[in-house]
Amino acid sequence: AQTVTQSQPEMSVQEAETVTLSCTYDTSESNYYLFWYKQPPSRQMILVIRQEAYKQQNATENRFSVNFQKAAKSFSLKISDSQLGDTAMYFCAFMPNFGNEKLTFGTGTRLTIIP
């Protein structure tokens, strides 16, 4: 079974700073998908970014980017120029390869952006 580990329960940074959230996972699969989801206080789950394991290029989405290290099974999320609206719980998630839609989530990191 796959496991996803987020070792930082809480983090806080000043507005406009850059912050990196870490995630590691364990799998025997060679092809899979990784995701970062954001859950603000409204409770809504929102996809931040998606990475396909067979792609070497790190995914980026505006101020959000990932550092995907396949050999190390590491998938960190970098938020640049952080904004107050980035305050939320962030969940890393793993999906096995094509044909299995089961998402396994980490325990989350609570990120607070300080004005």
Partner 1 sequence: DAGVIQSPRHEVTEMGQEVTLRCKPISGHDYLFWYRQTMMRGLELLIYFNNNVPIDDSGMPEDRFSAKMPNASFSTLKIQPSEPRDSAVYFCASSPRQAAKQYFGPGTRLTVT
Query: Which residues would be at the binding site for partner 1 (CB under 8 A)?
Result: 33, 42-47, 50, 52, 91, 95, 98-108
DSSP state of 77: E
The least distance separating partner 1 from the CB of residue 93, rounded to whole angstroms, comes to 8
Q: Indicate the residue among 72 and 102 with the shorter CB distance to partner 1.
A: 102
CA angle at residue 58 from 53 to 60, to 5 degrees? Answer: 120
CB of 71 or CB of 98, closer to partner 1: 98
Residue 30 or residue 115: which is nearer to partner 1 going by CB? 30
Helices (H), the chain: none
2's CB contacts (< 8 A; 6+ apart) are 25, 26, 27, 29, 94, 96, 104
Q: Least distance (Å) from partner 1 to the CB of residue 10?
A: 14
What's the half-sphere exposure (Cβ side, CA atoms, 13 Å) at 98?
2
CB 50 → partner 1: shortest distance, Å?
A: 6
Minimal distance, residue 52 CB to partner 1, in Å: 8
Q: Which is nearer to partner 1, 1 or 71 (CB)?
A: 1
Q: Among all chains, which residue has been given the structure tokens 């996809």?
A: 47
